[in-house]
Amino acid sequence: MAVNKKLGLTALGASLALTLAACGGEGAGSNTNTADADPSDLSIGVSMPTETSERWIADGENVESQLEEAGYTVDLQFAGDDIPTQAQQIDQMIVEGADALIVAAIDGTALSSQLQAAADQGIPVISYDRLIRETENVDFYVSFDNFRVGEAQGTALLTGLGVTDEEGNPTGVTGPFNIELFAGSLDDNNAGFFFDGAMSVIQPYIDNGTLVVKSGQTSIEQAATLRWSQETAQRRMEDLLTSSYNDGSVVNGVLSPYDGISRGIITALQNAGYGPTQDAQPRPMPAITGQDAEIASVKLIADGVQDSTIFKDTRLLAEQAVAAATAYLEEEEPEANDTETYDNGVKVVPAYLLPVETVYQDDIESVLIESEYYTAEEVAAGQSD
Ligand code: BGC
């Protein structure tokens, strides 16, 4: 008997609850009465998008180790940024009897048939960091405050240019400064939140002439970077330099949504004679933002090459994912702190959102090292273990 775990026993009548109890105890993958099962008999599929970015490796490992500590069996898969691979891995998890799924999607709309199969078998689905869209078969969303990430990136760009302080208060510096805008992958729901958040902060300074997007490429479609690819970002930056800065003008700032994209932008700029530090003349490295506090970028920030990043503590996100999965398996509802923002096109998905922190050079010690996210040695080497 397939029982929908998502309903929770409180939503069921007493007699049905008794029937459920009688049907339970079939072990991993039975999708019945998981509340009474021993965690070691329950298996959780964890689907991560890629191993090319350090943050997703950390996410996968954190979720896996925390689930294992709670006693669950874990099937962790990385999909190599390939949509069919991710679909096939999730199919396999379902076939092998997953009792819950935690999924960070590559393309937020590409998993509908897998999620229908999960729903048909009563398997709860937790959307991890990237909202799964256009389906009712997603139960819960754990992420960070993604609009706030964008606002923080916009403020970091203005701060890097000296136009505002770190709190976003204008300094009176009016430029004009040349900037360029990069966005993430349009199939990732987060990309729009980051870009909109950043533009909400930056747009007034474009409107008053303090900032000039010299290429004229101001829409998210023009700024987007498919699959958040470092190489794609490097090529676009090279093209922008060729098309818009061949008159002796220089780029003063670049809005970048992700550290890998920032590194592609930096490579293009270095190849064109920028940097490596603000002291270099006549082409100082522009103020460049980022996200994820990837170790290679933290080193670039320590070295004064990249200006800032946004730190998202993936250990805390893993905790929320594990708490949500555990709640469903115990036939309870996970605790949400946002039930309005994340409309996936079919329904508003209840969410637990975590706060983020901007990291400039001065914050590496207090934010990243004191929290033991990295050691001082890792920052110095630009590599984590
Ligand atoms: C995540 C970001 C990450 C980006 C690229 C987004 O969905 O929220 O933290 O930088 O994907 O991996």
CA 197 to CA 104: how far, in whole Å? 21
Note whether 9-138+314-354 and 146-311+377-381 share their fold: yes
Instruction: Give the position, in ligand 1's atom list, of the atom nearest the Cα of 56.
Output: 12
Q: What is the domain partition of the chain in residue ranges?
A: 9-138+314-354, 146-311+377-381
Q: What is the pLDDT of residue 5?
A: 40
Report how far apart, in Å, the C-alpha atoms of 286 and of each of 118, 157, 171, 385 are: 47, 10, 19, 30
Architecture of domain 146-311+377-381: 3-Layer(aba) Sandwich (3.40)
Determine which residue's CA is closest to atom 6 belonging to ligand 1: 190
**In DSSP terms, which residues pair with 354 in a beta bridge?**
144
Give the range with max mean pLDDT: 20-29, 117-126, 271-280. Answer: 117-126
pLDDT grade for 33, boundaries at 50, 70 and 90: confident
Ligand 1 centre from 10 Cα, in Å?
A: 36
| Entry pTM | 0.90
What confidence tens digit (pLDDT) does each residue in 99-116 have? Answer: 999 999 999 999 999 999
What confidence tens digit (pLDDT) does each residue in 229-241 have? Answer: 999 999 999 999 9
What confidence tens digit (pLDDT) does each residue in 271-327 have? Answer: 999 986 555 566 899 999 999 999 999 999 999 999 999 999 999 999 999 999 999
Q: What is the pLDDT of residue 112?
A: 93
b/e for 305-322, b at 16 or more Cβ within 10 A? bbbbbbbbbbeebbbbbb
Task: Tell me how far apart the terminal alpha carbons of the chain are, to the nearest angstrom.
Answer: 46
pLDDT grade for 11, boundaries at 50, 70 and 90: very low
| Ligand 1 neighbours (beta carbon < 6 A) | 53, 55, 129-130, 184, 188, 190, 228, 258, 291-292, 312
What confidence tens digit (pLDDT) does each residue in 61-75 have? Answer: 999 999 999 999 999
Q: What is the pLDDT of residue 350?
A: 98
Q: Report the pLDDT averaged over residues 55-65.
A: 96
Identify the CATH number of the domain defined by range 9-138+314-354: 3.40.50.2300
- Mean residue pLDDT across the chain: 91
Q: What is the pLDDT of residue 20?
A: 37
Q: What is the pLDDT of residue 369?
A: 97
Ligand 1 centre from 73 Cα, in Å?
A: 26
Per-residue DSSP letter, 216: -
